[in-house]
Structure 1
Amino acid sequence: MAGKSDLTVPVSISAGIHIGFIVILALGISFEDKPKQVQTTAASAPAVRAIVIDQQKVNDRVEQLKKQKQDVAQQEKVRQAELERKASEARREREREQEKIKTLEIQRKQKEQETQKANDAAKASQAKQVLEKERADKAEVVRKQKEQEQKVAEDAAKLASEKRKQEEAAAKKAQEERQRADDERKRKEDAERKRKAEADTKARQEREMAEAMSAEQDSLSKTRNKQVLSEVDKYKAMIIATIQRNLVIDESMRGKSCRVFIRLASDGFVTTSQTLDGDQVVCRAAKASINKAGRLPVSPEPAVYQQLKEINLTVSPEFN
């Protein structure tokens, strides 16, 4: 619009000058002194032709000015169209830039979301790894505890086996000593009663042998019963210790107890566990502890296992 104003002023001035020139010519023609009528027609003819010729020039000049004005207007129109085209192109370019910026902003937000998701996933993975490590550490601790318990049980079983062997060896030695004593006594008695009948001697010997065997059997039975009872008490203590180790306690359980029934397989696997009577909270904790243990210590000795395969125990929470 500024360019159009710059062209309008010169055109207006130029048009005004030409129009003024035409007006002056017209006025000059209108107010000139009229020729005297005494002049002949032949004398006024050149003046009229001159006026006509000047008027034609004026008309040509006017047409020329009109054409120049039209050309200027056409150029202005072309320039305005070019300006509008450029403005439209600039507007479209701005719109494209804005759309591009909008797209980049969306992409940036998507990248931020993806980054946030990746960070969250990494944190979740790290937390999972920490949890898995804690579980693995706990499992390792439990495994080591079970290994230690197994070793203790094996050591105890080994000691019991060695003790049993020693007792059997001592019993055998005692039997041998008694046998030697009996033989010596028999020889003496045979020497003293050599005149007795062979039947009486044989009957006496058989009676004495039966009595000796009965006494030995009684001795062995008593020794074996004591050993079995000792082993049973030991494994009962180990079973209670295992339950206590897995028992989850709180202050409300202090001084309370629960009596439970447990049935064990030969490998110590708990096949049945029931609460018989006692505090309900303690009973729930005791049953949960037994289920958590899964297996309880048992003796490899059949006689001891027979005493342990179905047992009633009293569980009392222990506080430090």
Structure 2
Amino acid sequence: MKKSNYSKSVVISVSIHALFIMLLLWGADFSFDHKQSVGNTIQATMVDPAMLNQQAQQIRQQRQAAKDAEQARQDRLEKQTAVLEKQRKAEAERIRQLKEDKLTAEKATREAEKQRQLQQQQVAEAKAKADAQAKVEAKAKADAKAKAEVQAKVDAQVKADAKAKADAQAKIDAQVKAAAKAKADAKAKADAKAKADAKAKADAKAKADAKAKADAKAKADAKAKADAKVKADAKAKADVKAKADAQAKQDAALNDMFSGLEAENVQRGGAKGKHIADEVARYGTIYKQMIQQNLLVDQSLKGQQCKLTLRLSANGLVLNVSQLAGNDTLCRAAKSAVLQVSEFPMPDNPDVVKQLRVINLTVSP
């Protein structure tokens, strides 16, 4: 109904605009100049200006009246259109509200049905959940009991393992202490032996010095006796044959004495060289023992060898240690053991010390 009224108003408005345009065209001056045939005839028309002004004024008044009438008509149409549009919107709003109320009611019905189904489902799920929970609780109790039994067994095994581990650790600690004590005892023995060797060496040197002094005194006495004998022989020149025999005997005796002294000196030089060699070998053995005490190697290296060159200072400090040949792993362990010793005992004899300044050792675990 509203749509029909609106269409009717539009048609009326268009008709009025068409009529207004026709009035404007009617009032306009549409006179045309018609070409006259060429000739000698001449027509003349007189126009009254006052009449023209009056007609123009009438046309303007008519146009203004038509314009005012059209504006009034437009205003009425706009008011009617506004009223109709307001009515149309109100009707549309009423229809929309009715539809919305219907949708709301349908939605509420669906929600109620959904809630009813949901409640039924929740009741069924709650029952199923209660049944499942009862089964889970029963299983949990059984699992807890089995777990408690297993845990008890595990705790007992852990305690047994801890006790066995503690016992093994105690044995290891005892072995470590025993090894440390044995190492300390061996070091003490080595130090005592080194001191005894040094004392024996000092005693041997004192004896050698005393013997050298006695030999020098005997030689001086022999020389003094020889000088006295020569003086006696010079004084007893009267008996030439006796003096010659005596001189010959004495010369032979002196020759025998000097030969014995030379042999003794040669023997003494050989004994000194042997003594130095023995001392070098003995200290080399001591060095090996000291290195062996600090040597930490795996059983897999048993039977392997490592040849090292040690360079020592005059007081036994390790200046350098280098590998000559042998197993690399064993040589690394041997070098570490040498550096842990750091200072080796040295004898008092400078000749032996000279031989020990650079030594070659073979280490075998």
TM-score of the superposition, structure 2-length normalised?
0.40
Larger radius of gyration: 2
